[in-house]
Amino acid sequence: MFKIGKFFHAIHVVADLDRADIWYDQIFGGRRFYRGHLPVEKRDASLLVIADFCVEPMMSSRVPGAERTPVGRFYSRFGQRLHSLAWYVTDLPSLYERLRSAGIRVTGPGGTDMETGDFPGSLYTHPRDSHSLIEFVDMASLNGALRDPRLDPAYSPAYWRDEHPLGIERVSHMTVVVRDLHRATSFYAGTLDGDVVGHSDRTPAGTRSVYVAVGEDSIIELARPHSDDSLAGRDLAENGEIMHSVTFKVRDLAAAEQHLAANGVRIAERQGDDVVLHPDDCFGAVLRLTQGQTPGETDRPRP
């Protein structure tokens, strides 16, 4: 039987990986543990950790045919923005059967066919079936090749909380904008065996939201905007159901804002204990900082 484990990463599609890497280092103090080119997907990417979170800035490679790959097509349609969620999982074939029985279409890396019965180590859901693109990576297939520092029992995220000027304690939650809360909740809490840990009729982002704990350490906010006038509302209206934002829990919001201002990152919105970094200053990504409490947060294991 499959088990969804630790959250692996969120992909952030960018136009220039070199510039994005420098930006993540400057703003977040990211600790990079991978950078490379994947020929089957014709893309370049890096992996870096920020406290307990991992992000994968990614760009379509400048090689012939890259524009026809999934990453190339995504960039052509949506531009720079957050792209997808990914989790580590055990027993990938069992998860494959669960997804297929629920009517979720899946592919292998680079959009390859999964109907042969071969499992290449990861699979991807069709975003129209799973409300956002999701990747699941088989832990057994890594064989130590990818040294995610967070998997080391001695790993500590304390630097980001105690020394880095943003004062990040942990990732609070990741948000997916959806049209049908009931259907999306059924997928995340049913098909993926998540647990509903909270609800909100009106969040600072102007949404009605359901919070679902998925895997070992992540909370997904399923958010239905109340109107098209908000950032989340415009995202859903223009781009459909999609990964919308990442929210970080910080120790001192005022100190974090000083660091951002000193590095040319503007605040797009402010609501109480929450601020939204201007997407134009973040390579199109919607990133939030909060001092507030996310439903279910106290029940999660501490990093």
The DSSP result for 92-150, as a single string, is: HHHHHHHHHHTT--EE-GGG---TTS---SEEEE-HHHHSSEEEEEEHHHHTT-S--GG
The whole-number pLDDT of residue 142 equals 67
Evaluate if residue 82 carries a pLDDT over 70.
Answer: yes
Evaluate if residue 271 carries a pLDDT over 90.
Answer: no
pLDDT grade, residue 74 (50/70/90)? very high
Whole-number Å distance between alpha carbons of 303 and 298: 12
Confidence (pTM): 0.94
* Class for the domain spanning 3-151: alpha beta
Given a contact cutoff of 8 angstroms between Cβ atoms, the answer to whether 198 and 299 are in contact is no
Whole-number Å distance between alpha carbons of 13 and 129: 21
Per-residue pLDDT of 111-122, as tens digits, reads 666 665 566 788
Whole-number Å distance between alpha carbons of 161 and 164: 6
The whole-number pLDDT of residue 246 equals 98
Backbone φ and ψ for 208, nearest 5 degrees, come out as -95, 125
Q: Which residue bears the tokens 């919308």? A: 244
Q: Pick the range with the lowest mean pLDDT from 106-110, 142-146, 149-153.
A: 142-146
- Give residue limits of the domains in the chain: 3-151, 158-299
Per-residue pLDDT of 165-187, as tens digits, reads 999 999 999 999 999 999 999 99
Residue (of 82, 34, 36) closest to 61 by Cα position: 36
Q: In what order do the strands lie in the sheet with 242-250?
A: 195-200, 207-214, 218-225, 168-177, 242-250, 286-290, 274-277, 267-271
The whole-number pLDDT of residue 117 equals 56
Cα radius of gyration rounded to whole Å, the chain: 18
pLDDT grade, residue 41 (50/70/90)? confident
Given a contact cutoff of 8 angstroms between Cβ atoms, the answer to whether 275 and 189 are in contact is no
- Assess if CATH 3.50.4.10 describes domain 158-299: no
Evaluate if residue 299 carries a pLDDT over 60.
Answer: no
Evaluate if residue 4 carries a pLDDT over 80.
Answer: yes
Per-residue pLDDT of 231-267, as tens digits, reads 999 999 999 999 999 999 999 999 999 999 999 999 9
Domain pair 3-151 / 158-299, same fold: yes
Per-residue pLDDT of 196-236, as tens digits, reads 999 999 888 899 999 999 999 999 999 999 999 999 999 99
For β-strands 242-250 and 168-177, DSSP reports them as antiparallel
The whole-number pLDDT of residue 147 equals 87
